[in-house]
A and B are shown apart, each in its own frame.
Chain A
Amino acid sequence: MKKLLAFTLVIGMLLSLVTISSLAADEVVKPDKIIMMVDATVVTSINGRDQFEARWEELTGIDLEIIQPDHDAYYDVMQQQIASGDWPDVLILSSTVYSSYAAEGVLWDMTDAWNNSATKNSGRFIGDSVIDGLKINGSLYGFAPARGNGCLTYIKQAWLDKVGLGAPTNYEEFLAVCDAFVSQDPNGTGANDTYALAAAGFIGFEAPFVNYLPNFYQDAYPFFIQQEDGTWVDGFTQPAMQGALERLADAYAKGYIDPTTLTNGTKDCRNKFYDETTGIFTYWAGTWGTNLKVNLEANGHDGQLVALPPIAEVDAYYDRVPPVWAITTACENPEGVFKYFIDTMLDGGDMQMLWTYGVEGTHWSRAEETILDVPYAAGQFHMLESLEKAGTAYTKNHIDPMLSLAAFAEGYENPMELTVKPEAKLSSQVFNSHSKLAKIVPTTEVMSMYNGDLTTLKNELVAKVAMGEMTFDEAMAKFETDGGLAWSNAIVDSLNALN
């Protein structure tokens, strides 16, 4: 009897849940007000945030409150806000914070809302793989309007011409280019003062760790990776690592890699590329393609760069997991916020225009005028001069048009061709067609205990092998005696236990 009663109760509850949720899906209530927290990737107040807010409110009829801390302080302020119980409705998160907040129940599960969304079913959306990469155990807690971008290898065309070589297509050719760049005086100073390339450290500071030296790491990856069968391994202990480290050591010993790579900052590497110390540079795709050129030309050098498709041994460049928009569980009307805030961001029309380029009359215009010495005809789309930095024009608002996951709707003029410089576009195209998405690695107790020490040890060994202070075998022996292998195994076990 009791069992029967319980059974009917459960059935009843399930039924009511189904009806409630189906009701909710049909009748999403429009929220009166949305509180959003965002970093400096949306125009700041000096750059016309008020106009952005007004335009957004005009398009939706919803009151928008923006909390926008200084960009360095975003995560500190966000933590304070979360700790004091004062959660915003919607906020932007880095991929690592996203996955831990999702695990802690801070974020609203938007799987269903996404599957039924206008964006996903618009026919314009090209980011299904990106969204899939954001799923945690099959559930989606966040949305990204753009890809995360990554690094590709740039080579100076003038240097290639000087040494009479073409763009390399495999490692052997790549090494030949390196060798020529070191020995054949490609910068024409007559002195032996060049290196093929420089990097900020032999291993990256954060995922995807190999992105600044992909041509040497190739198929090796020094962090935890999930294999096809779903089990986890530590890439550092895999056979491919030996080849990677020996390639680095060899190139370093031959003087291809800048000797101060260990202590370089990213800026040092850029400056060495600008002042013709190096000829190859693996750096961000897209806008940086233009920035590198402009800086080289400002120095009086040839700015033409080859955006190199990955050499044969490098399968693809890594695309970072993008920052994610998420709705908190404190939000009273998450369906409404999803529908009116997230699902409108890539609407292919006015709203997407607002998120991509900003506000007409503030950030862009079609008026007949001259901006920064360039005359524009009436009706011709162009970006306006920055309110903050005189002498420079705006390039975008929140969404980088080159990384956007959805095209504008048919019939809606896409200004990208007009605003993006050709080098940036080329580098972006090469990257897009040769990149793979980096994966979010879940975190475990064991990982938070050991991974700090483990990473420090791995990085030390990579640096010492690369600089020839240790052989690979010595490094592996030290890895074992210093406890690295044990930590690594413990973390792998804890990751496998999640499955």
Chain B
Amino acid sequence: MKTTPAGETAVGRRAPRKKYSLFRVLNGLFFLVFCLMILLPLWKVLVDSFDLTTGYGMKLLPEKFGIAGYTSVFTNKSLYIPLINSVITTLSGTTFGLLLSTLGAYVLIQEDMPGRGLFAFFLLFTMIFQGGMIPTYIVLRKLGLTNTLWSVILLPAINVYNLVLMRNFFDGIPKSLFESATLDGCSPLQTFIRIVLPLSKAALAAIGLMYAVAYWNDYTNYKLYITKELLYNFQMKLRSIMMGSDLPAANSGAVENTVQNAAVIVAILPFMILYPLLQRYFVTGINLGAVKE
């Protein structure tokens, strides 16, 4: 990777003796303390998920270590199909979502386009005014979407909040690039595919993540529009493990509390893996630098 972060280019290369400047030490210390504070409450859940005894207080380490909580979650056969459902809806939903928000955002940056303001208002209005639970259900039912995965894929795909954020990113693309593309004979769609999308990797990563998280964590839409257990998602099943107050004490030695805490951790796991994978798109300067070469 040739491009380096701005900080390093500016400070690191030009003034090497400042490598361990006071600011950097303090900044590092700040994040160390801040991350520890963020982790402390999570640590409680993590420790409890590995602890075969059940207690109220905070422990530094498990009193009686065991992975029975996790084996209990993972041997729960009812989790397999929901896991597949979650993957399907998250992948397809995020694709739909990104498609709609990039298209919408691309149209909204056409400042001269007649009707642009009206379109913008039309979209914003839906963010503020909603029809409510029952009318939405009736519409989905009339379309034959209830009790199909389409309801939970299509409904959240249009998210005006994300669309407006996307538009905000597109605004940062120099207008000159569009003009030269037009001069080169690119149609609007070609410009969109060849210029806008490649230049917006960070935005696509960030907003794609927001969509993915929303789809993966979706609970409300499933709860309202799906009554077939075969179509439930992972989150829905984990939630019933977490909330289940009358779980029979497992013979495997894992008590209710341990299993529930394990379920909380399992629910976080995908995001611990996903985010670091996306972060390479966030590195400063890559995008524009690539274009200029």
A contact residues around B243 at 8 Å (CB)? 72
Instruction: Contact check, A68 vs B72: say whether CB atoms are below 8 A apart.
Output: no
Query: In this assembly, does A191 line the interface, its C-beta being within 8 Å of a C-beta of chain B?
Result: no
From B55, which residue of chain A is reached at the shortest CB distance?
A275
- Report B16 CB to chain A, min CB distance, Å: 54
Closest-CB distance, A205 to chain B (whole angstroms): 14
Closest Cβ neighbor of A72 among chain B residues? B223
- Nearest opposing residue in chain B for A394, CB measure: B248
Q: Is the CB of A389 within 8 A of B250?
A: yes
- Find residues 288-345 in chain A having any chain B CB closer than 8 Å to their own CB: 288, 290-291, 294-295, 298-300
- Residues of A bordering B, CB below 8 Å: 44-46, 67-73, 76-77, 79-80, 83-84, 266-268, 270-272, 274-275, 277, 287-288, 290-291, 294-295, 298-300, 372-373, 387-393, 395
Number of interface residues of B (CB under 8 A): 40
Q: Are A275 and B56 in contact (CB under 8 A)?
A: yes
Q: Please indicate the chain B residues that have their CB under 8 angstroms from the CB of A372 in the complex.
A: 251
Interchain CA distance A291-B54 in the complex, whole Å: 13
Q: Does B224 contact A (CB under 8 A)?
A: yes
**A298 x B53 contact (CB < 8 A):** yes
Determine the chain B residues whose CB is within 8 A of the CB of A294 once the complex forms: 249, 255
Q: Within the complex, which residue of A267, A272, A389 is in contact with B76, where a contact is CB–CB below 8 Å?
A: A389
A291 to B250, CA, bound (A): 10
Can you list 15 A-B contacts with CB-CB less than 8 angstroms, sorted by A residue number?
Answer: A46-B78, A46-B229, A68-B229, A70-B232, A84-B138, A270-B54, A271-B257, A274-B53, A295-B249, A298-B54, A298-B253, A372-B251, A388-B76, A389-B72, A393-B248
Across the interface, which residues of B come within 8 angstroms of A373, CB to CB? 251
State in angstroms the CA–CA spacing of A406 and B246 once bound together.
Answer: 24
| Residues of B close to A72: CB separation below 8 A | 223, 239-240, 243
The answer to whether A295 touches B255 (Cβ under 8 A) is yes
Identify which of A277, A387, A388, A389 contacts B56 (C-beta below 8 A).
A277
B236 on the A face (CB < 8 A): yes
Contacts of A388 in B (CB 8 A): 76-78
- CA distance in complex: A76, B223 (Å): 8
Give complex CA distance A83, B138 in Å. 9
CA distance A67 to B246 in the complex (A): 23
A84 to B57, CA, bound (A): 48
CB distance from A161 to the nearest CB of B (A): 22
In the assembled complex, the Cα of A229 lies from the Cα of B228 at a distance in Å of: 49
Nearest-CB distance from A289 to chain B (Å)?
12
- Residue from A45, A295, A391 in contact with B229 in the complex, judged by beta carbons closer than 8 Å: A45
Are B251 and A77 in contact (CB-based, < 8 A)?
no
CA distance A79 to B132 in the complex (A): 13
Q: Is the CB of A71 within 8 A of B137?
A: no
Chain B stretch 179-202: residues in CB contact (< 8 A) with chain A: none
Taking a contact as CB atoms under 8 Å apart, the answer to whether B53 and A300 are in contact is yes
A45, A298, A395: most-surrounded residue (chain B CB, <10 A): A298
Is B252's beta carbon under 8 Å from chain A?
yes
Interface of A is mostly: helix
Interface string of B224-248 (1 = CB under 8 A from A): 1001111010001001100101111
Other-chain contact of A391, B75, B137, B138 (Cβ < 8 Å): B75
B48 CB to nearest A CB, Å: 9
CA distance A68 to B239 in the complex (A): 17
B218 close to chain A: CB less than 8 A: no
B141 contacts the other chain (Cβ, under 8 Å)? yes
Using known A-B contacts A70-B232, A72-B223, A80-B224, determine if residue A392 contacts B54 with beta carbons closer than 8 Å: no
> Most A CB atoms within 10 A — which of B57, B228, B229, B245?
B229
Residues on A with C-beta less than 8 A from B250 are: 389, 391-392
Complex contact B54–A80 (CB within 8 A): no
The verdict on B134 contacting chain A, using a C-beta distance below 8 Å, is yes
Chain B: which residue is nearest A80 at the CB level?
Answer: B137
Whether B249 and A274, one on each chain, are in contact in the complex, defined by CB atoms closer than 8 angstroms, is: no
Chain B CB within 10 Å — which of A79, A290, A291 has the most? A291
A67-B137 Cα distance, complex, nearest whole Å: 16
CA distance A2 to B65 in the complex (A): 90
Nearest first, the 9 A-B pairs at minimum CB distance are A275-B55, A73-B223, A391-B252, A294-B249, A46-B78, A271-B56, A69-B227, A45-B229, A299-B53
**Interface membership of B222, Cβ < 8 A:** yes
**Residues of chain B lying within 8 A (CB to CB) of residue A290:** 249
Chain A residues near B137: list those with CB within 8 A: 80, 83-84
Bound together, the chains give a CA A390 to CA B78 distance in angstroms of 10
CB atoms of B54 and A275 under 8 A apart: yes
B228 proximity list for chain A (CB < 8 A)? 45
Report Cα–Cα, A266/B53, bound state, in Å: 18
Known: A76-B223, A295-B257. 4 other contacts (CB 8 A): A295-B249, A295-B255, A298-B249, A392-B250
A298–B255 contact, CB under 8 A? Answer: yes
Q: Are B52 and A390 in contact (CB under 8 A)?
A: no
Decide: A390 and B141 in contact? CB cutoff 8 A.
Answer: no
Judged by a CB distance under 8 angstroms, whether B128 is at the interface is: no
* Contact between B229 and A44, CB atoms less than 8 A apart: yes
| Residue in chain A with minimal CB distance to B140 | A80
B118 contacts partner chain A, Cβ-Cβ < 8 Å = no
Residue of B nearest to A79 (CB): B134
A83 and B55 in contact, given A70-B222, A266-B245 (Cβ under 8 angstroms): no
- Chain A residue with Cβ nearest B253: A298
Within 8 A of A (CB), among B132-150: 133-134, 137-138, 141
CB distance from A35 to the nearest CB of B (A): 13
Take A389-B76, A392-B251 as given contacts and tell me if A274 and B55 are in contact as well, using a CB distance cutoff of 8 Å. yes
List the B residue with the shortest CB-CB distance to A198: B56
Docked-complex contact B52 and A298, CB < 8 angstroms: yes
A-chain residues with CB within 8 Å of residue B245 when the two chains form the complex: 266-267
Q: Which chain B residues numbered 240 to 281 have a C-beta less than 8 Å away from chain A?
A: 240, 243, 245-253, 255-257
